[in-house]
Structure 1
């Protein structure tokens, strides 16, 4: 593993405060045991997530090359159980960062880029649920595919984490991922004071590192599912920067992932920050009411580009 880049440390931990005296009196938690016990106990956790992405967009004409940006807001909850996340229920919305970005998206969509076209309807809130072996979606992406009276699409077979991962690419509740990430080698210092998810200063311990996409694909079932089970050779060497912040009890406060594509014909960057803001002993994720659900092959005439990692599948912009 390589160390986390200074850029990413500055981005995700601006509130770090050196506190050697505090570090001396706060014993280091056994993070693996704490998270493993929390997963075994079941229940769930509420999450709040923000992603920031940039992509190069070329309109059909030669009049201009746009650099377009968008952000993603996620709120919802995870259900924990044997093996990790067994259900997730999230609401998700994309915001194009400027009128220029909006125009860029429309230009590229009109030129035939269906992945970018799929971003436009997601500027309204969508809800995603993965539970009991299925992924369900509700929102403008599916409106044209649903019969009258139905508001939910049963999209595909999927594991419990599916709805909540794809912007964030690190599932710290997976046993293999947890043990690979939370090691002495990856621990950064002995703790510090920083602003936590609640907005208050609190003691935090940071773990961080870098893995290639190929390493993540081998390690993490959640990563493999987010990549739709395939990882082209061109993407195997891409780097995923990650950071995990835990509190005194060893439970995660914040998880961060950052990755990028910088090529002549493709440009994309993504940083995702997920805060864990409330633990509960009862947090079952239920499927949508059966009477509101219809089977769906996905968005009408569009790829299922419902996560930022799906942008890897996008073809180079049209010029």
Structure 2
């Protein structure tokens, strides 16, 4: 959960100079759109230096039983592509916790995370009060741009392999309404956690090790809304995770992600070096429950 709360959740403190976002100066032409015969090809056509897409997301986490509680999270920001795919992200995350979450509220303070070049910088969140004077950003190393954590969308459709493998499990198609100004077709189906681990770098970074047993066969149900230009506009997924053995709780995660502004011009930069502190410098002074989300739903 430390990795989820520092490397993949995003923050409330805004530093305008770090990200420059503007409308795309060159949109995909109709000819190029018609040439993009499938969603994977359409996605790859947007892998251009300093181009990206805007993301907004809501997640609902529901506990089981008569005393069930609900956590709502929201995430928004921008993703930056390079010629080979996702290279950076700048995302903010906030939580709406049950009123009785008590001391755990501090673990879920709003946060912002910038990820690029295998490094993540987080401002706010669990470590905000532990930061040395003059420091605003906590740096953690390892992995690529972080898109998935336990409280965020598990199906990263900006990864070509993940998009292809998920759509290969399509069980039904129907009109999906209008999203981001374009009519969509909604594809729906189910994919297992083991399959996602195999194809998704983001899921591998989140789980760190291959799922086995019941975890491997955990079904993730999904809906992907694809526009007439074959670009993904919305992804809705859900799965139920058992934490039995820790606190005997089952949690259902429902994630709803919207993508807008494909082709947006964006340049994500690291925070000023003099405002950054290394993760190892703070780790020894901070404690947290083994499973903070499960603790909220326990009892």
Unmatched tracts of structure 1, length 5 or more: 1-25, 58-64, 110-116
* Equivalent residue number for residue 117 of structure 2: 132
Q: Deviations over 1:255-287 (max 9, x none)?
A: 122111358722101111110121235212211
The 1:28/1:291 distance shift into structure 2, 3 A limit, reads: closer
Choose from 181, 188, 208 the match for 2:172.
Answer: 188
* Equivalent residue number for residue 53 of structure 1: 61
* SS in structure 1 of the partner of residue 194 of structure 2: helix
**Is the Cα contact below 8 Å between 2:176 and 2:225 reproduced in 1?**
no
**Is the Cα contact below 8 Å between 2:48 and 2:82 reproduced in 1?**
yes
What's the offset of the Cα at 1:158? 2.5
The 1:208/1:177 distance shift into structure 2, 3 A limit, reads: same
Q: Deviations over 1:29-70 (max 9, x none)?
A: 52221111112565111111101111359xxxxxxx842211
**Is the Cα contact below 8 Å between 2:121 and 2:137 reproduced in 1?**
yes
What's the offset of the Cα at 1:122? 5.3
What's the offset of the Cα at 1:72? 0.5
Give the whole-Å Cα distance in 2 for the aligned partners of 1:268 and 1:87.
30
* Equivalent residue number for residue 102 of structure 1: 99
* Equivalent residue number for residue 8 of structure 2: none
The 1:301/1:258 distance shift into structure 2, 3 A limit, reads: same
Q: Deviations over 1:49-106 (max 9, x none)?
A: 101111359xxxxxxx84221100111000112332111100100102xxxx221x22
Query: Pairwise mapping of residues 47-196 of structure 1 onto structure 2 (< 5 A)?
Result: 47-55=55-63, 66-96=67-97, 101-103=98-100, 105-106=101-102, 117=104, 120-121=105-106, 123-160=108-145, 162=146, 164-166=147-149, 167-183=152-168, 186=170, 188-189=172-173, 192=175, 194-196=177-179
**Is the Cα contact below 8 Å between 2:36 and 2:42 reproduced in 1?**
no
Q: Deviations over 1:211-262 (max 9, x none)?
A: 1111211221111112234535442221111221111111111112211135
**Is the Cα contact below 8 Å between 1:51 and 1:272 reproduced in 2?**
yes
* Equivalent residue number for residue 38 of structure 1: 46
- TM-score w.r.t. the length of structure 1 is 0.71
Q: Deviations over 1:185-214 (max 9, x none)?
A: 62733x525142x4x6x4102222211111
Give the whole-Å Cα distance in 2 for the aligned partners of 1:77 and 1:252.
15
Alignment pair present for 1:293 and 2:273: no
Unmatched tracts of structure 2, length 5 or more: 1-33
**Is the Cα contact below 8 Å between 2:187 and 2:223 reproduced in 1?**
yes
Query: Aligned pair count?
Result: 258
* SS in structure 2 of the partner of residue 250 of structure 1: coil
**Is the Cα contact below 8 Å between 1:259 and 1:271 reproduced in 2?**
yes
Q: Which structure shows the higher strand fraction? A: 2
- TM-score w.r.t. the length of structure 2 is 0.75
* SS in structure 2 of the partner of residue 177 of structure 1: helix
The 1:280/1:263 distance shift into structure 2, 3 A limit, reads: closer
Give the whole-Å Cα distance in 2 for the aligned partners of 1:228 and 1:246.
30
CA RMSD of aligned residues (A): 3.1
